[in-house]
Amino acid sequence: MPPCPLSPRPFAGDPDVEALHRFFQPERQYAGDVRWAFGTSLKSAYVNSFEFLNAAPVVQMWRDAGGELQAVSRIMLDTGSWFHQAAPAYRSDEVRHAIARQARDALRLLSDQPTCRTVAYEKDEAAASFLESEGYELSGVAEVFMERSLEADIETPPAPQGCTICTLDADDPDEVFERGDAQVDAFLEGQPREEVAAWMTRSLRHQLGYGRPERFPLVVAMEPNGSVLAFADTCLDARNQIGEFEPVGTRKQARRRGLARAVVSQGLALMKAAGMKQAVVRTGIDNAAAIATYRSVGFEITDRLLSYRLHFER
């Protein structure tokens, strides 16, 4: 196999922020394939690199001979997992092999996990074939990928009683805190540790600042007292006219009231008004409630994200 044309170095924090931002822009990433999930990649690669409590990932910046960022990889030592994103011109086996080899060696050396885990879309036959050639075995389905057209009119149901469906005021610290607190309640089981809640609120501020808020409106269901009960973040790719939801959630005590459907419907209306032609979303294969909600507003499953594992010989 020819040598990899890219060289890695660790993510250096603030000096690398703008390079990451440029790298994840649609004009750099879109190659006719909506599955690359620009919003998820953009926000998580930045936010999680700065502070991930005690599970800081090993983030590598892969640059070409001219110093231009062409791929980013994240290695999670606590879970024994890794993933990467490469610019279209560098989605080759040479680049995949170098990134996979580095992730494997780092996890074998620095993690106590018995396996090395990653993912690939079912319809991405080249990625699946590559992982199998590297010794990975299919271990299940992690998520579903769903799409819907925005060409037709968007039906927005009335706001559930006692709530207002609106966009988050990113300049209001109280609203930002409530939005972060709602995400903690929606996604974490039991009573979250205080530092977890604090991190979630701080990370949301990073998302708002780094994601350029004018293209990432956050839809919320809010009570008169300012409490956020549900949320749907929309990521708008104006260049390719694609809107993505990431994340969507509802506080535990507010579920089964139609709040998720309401915020997602409003998000779809915002996407259409902004000129988007297509909407995409990804959710866990076991999240039946979320899948049902997305189907109720016109989404269909078009692909599945498969899990792969490589067992270590220790």
The pLDDT, as a whole number, for residue 54 is 43
298: phi then psi, degrees, rounded to nearest 5: 105, 0
- Second-level CATH architecture of 152-276: 3-Layer(aba) Sandwich (3.40)
CATH assignment, 7-113: 3.40.630.30
The DSSP annotation for 111-149 comes to: ---SEEEEEEETT-HHHHHHHHHTT-EEEEEEEEEEEEE
pLDDT at 52: 46
- Domain pair 7-113 / 152-276, same fold: yes
pLDDT at 53: 42
Distances (CA, A) of 105 to 79, 101, 257, 287: 15, 6, 48, 33
Domain locations in the chain?
7-113, 152-276
Residue 309 in tokens: 């594992």
For the chain, percent helix, then strand, then coil, each to nearest 5?
A: 40, 30, 30
Residue 126: left (phi > 0), alpha (psi -120 to 50), or beta? alpha
Report residues of the chain scoring pLDDT below 50. Answer: 51-55
Cα–Cα distance, 37 to 49 (Å, whole number): 18
The pLDDT tens digits for 45-93 are 555 555 444 445 688 999 999 999 999 998 988 889 999 999 999 999 9
**What is this structure's pTM?**
0.89
Residues sharing a CB contact under 8 Å with residue 125, sequence separation 6 or more, in sequence order: none
* Range list of H helices, the chain: 14-23, 26-29, 38-50, 93-110, 125-133, 173-187, 194-210, 259-273, 288-296
In terms of Cα–Cα distance, which of 252, 281, 251 is closest to 264? 281
Q: What is the pLDDT of residues 195-209, one digit of tens each?
A: 666 666 666 666 666
Rg (CA), the chain: 20
